[in-house]
Chain A
Amino acid sequence: MEGMEIQTLSRTRRLLLLYCSFFRITALVVGGGLAMLPVIEEIFVVKHKLLTREELLDMTALTQTVPGIIAINSAVYIGMKIGGVPGALAAAAGAVTPPFTVILIIASLFPRLDPKNRYLLGVFSGIRACVTGMILVTGCRMFRRTVKSGLECAVVLVFFVLAVMKVSPALLILVAIPFGWCYVWWQTRRLTQAEQAADGGKNPEASSEPSAETSVDPDKDGGRGK
């Protein structure tokens, strides 16, 4: 614990700052996920200068790469960067506390959420319709960003049909990982073959693909990860 030296804030102040900032972020930001990004930037980059803008951008790409909820991922990785493992714990605890308390209060008020009141039903169906639209837009944006060829489109379709046929989503994701390895292997092999055939001919389309994928423009998916 004593091994790490702190430049500007003392260790406890830093942990407290992490806890309180993430508490504030999840307590106030409706939607979570990437909607948190501007607030994180304001607190940690502009105000306290504990992160650079580039570090935050790296972090954003990272939080979308590793599995897990984007909000918790951001808390854990920013916490790690600023305060090591205790920092990650403090930030995660801060992020979890407000939704946990608020939802617990609501849940204990209406445990089964099966309203009989006509207007309350109307409110719920209104929100559900809105959420449908939001997920649809998010899904289409993701589709455009991710799917780069007809073959990939076919793969998405196959996964979709399997999901409709009640194949467990967990199984689908687990199958997708080895499939991804085979696919990338096949793609690189085809690429090298094409290069050999064209005698080192240029193939800008394929080489730009990975970087476009990993550094996701935060502006483009403001609607994502709600």
Chain B
Amino acid sequence: MNHCIVLFFQFCKFSVLCFGGGYMLIPLLTAEFVDREQVLTMSEFGNLLSVAQVTPGPVGLNTATYVGYVNAGFFGSLAASLGLVVPTILIGCSAAAGINRWKDTFLVKGMLKGTRLAAVALIMFAVTIFLGMSVFTRTIPWEALGALFKFELPVIPDDFRVSPAGVLICGVTIVLMLKTKLPTTALLLGSAAAGALLAAWF
């Protein structure tokens, strides 16, 4: 029960900090559950997000329900989902009616500017997390990059390789997103099928 209360407040925090859409949850969730509490491994988190992405419904809610379940079963899911919703309702009931009047004030403008810049950086960071699970075979070894700055030879781990299937699917997705108006559902299902086929091939 205590665990569920903690989960509820954790997700309240994520909801309040989530400026700029559901993808912002990725760095927040990995920092909390993969790096700090270690209730999930990075690859489990990646699989979980894949499921959340292909099932209907907003990715943020799907992921919250899933992470809640992994943490504390049914009530964990409930606590996580409520945690995402309650702050939004509170903010909505108190501020929403007036925010269009306030949006040109200094306080709101500054907050938006700052959080948007941070959101862009964090979404790019989410991309690097995902690159480590798709295009590369393990998390990007940033320590090696750091060594380069100290004029030392970088030590790249042996299992850090480029995955040809990952590069192919990721590249095709980017091209299709930029050049066509295919719905994301089609892209996701196509990629799932391509992934299974390529797994059979190699």
Interface secondary structure of B, over-half rule:
helix
Which of chain B's residues have a CB closer than 8 A to the CB of A9? none
Give the interface size class of chain B: 35 or more
Nearest neighbor of A72 in chain B, beta-carbon distance: B88
Instruction: State whether A35 and B125 are in contact (beta carbons under 8 Å apart), knowing that A69-B60, A119-B199 are contacts in the complex.
Output: no
Instruction: State whether A128 and B44 are in contact (beta carbons under 8 Å apart), knowing that A33-B21, A180-B112 are contacts in the complex.
Output: no
B-side interface residues toward A, CB under 8 Å? 13, 15-23, 25-28, 31, 35, 43-44, 46-62, 65-66, 69-70, 74, 77-78, 81, 84-85, 87-89, 91-93, 95-97, 99-100, 103-104, 106-128, 130-131, 133-135, 142, 163, 165-174, 177-178, 181, 183-185, 187-188, 190-200
- With an 8 A cutoff between CB atoms, is A4 at the interface? no
Choose, from A12-20, A106-114, A192-200, the stretch at the interface: A106-114
Interface size, chain A (Cβ < 8 Å): 108
A-side interface residues toward B, CB under 8 Å? 26-33, 35-36, 58, 62, 64-73, 76-77, 80, 85, 88-89, 92, 95-96, 98-100, 102-104, 106-108, 111-115, 118-139, 142-143, 146-147, 152, 155-160, 163-166, 168-170, 172-185, 188, 210, 213-214, 222-226
Contact partner, A31, options B59, B106, B125, Cβ 8 Å: B59
| B103 contacts A214, C-beta separation under 8 Å | yes
Which of chain B's residues have a CB closer than 8 A to the CB of A99? 55-58, 61-62, 65
Nearest neighbor of A93 in chain B, beta-carbon distance: B85
Q: How far is the CA of A179 from the CA of B109 in the complex (A)?
A: 12
| A119 contacts B196, C-beta separation under 8 Å | yes
Min Cβ gap A138→B in Å is 6
Known: A135-B127, A139-B126, A164-B142. 4 other contacts (CB 8 A): A127-B191, A143-B120, A152-B117, A163-B122
| B134 contacts A67, C-beta separation under 8 Å | no
- In the assembled complex, 12 residue pairs joining A and B whose CB atoms fall closer than 8 Å, in A order, are A26-B56, A27-B56, A32-B22, A76-B92, A99-B58, A122-B197, A126-B194, A128-B46, A133-B174, A166-B31, A173-B119, A225-B23
Nearest neighbor of B109 in chain A, beta-carbon distance: A184
Contact partner, A104, options B31, B74, B171, B197, Cβ 8 Å: B74
Q: How far is the CA of A175 from the CA of B47 in the complex (A)?
A: 31
Q: How far is the CA of A42 from the CA of B185 in the complex (A)?
A: 20
| A180 contacts B117, C-beta separation under 8 Å | yes
Nearest neighbor of B57 in chain A, beta-carbon distance: A99
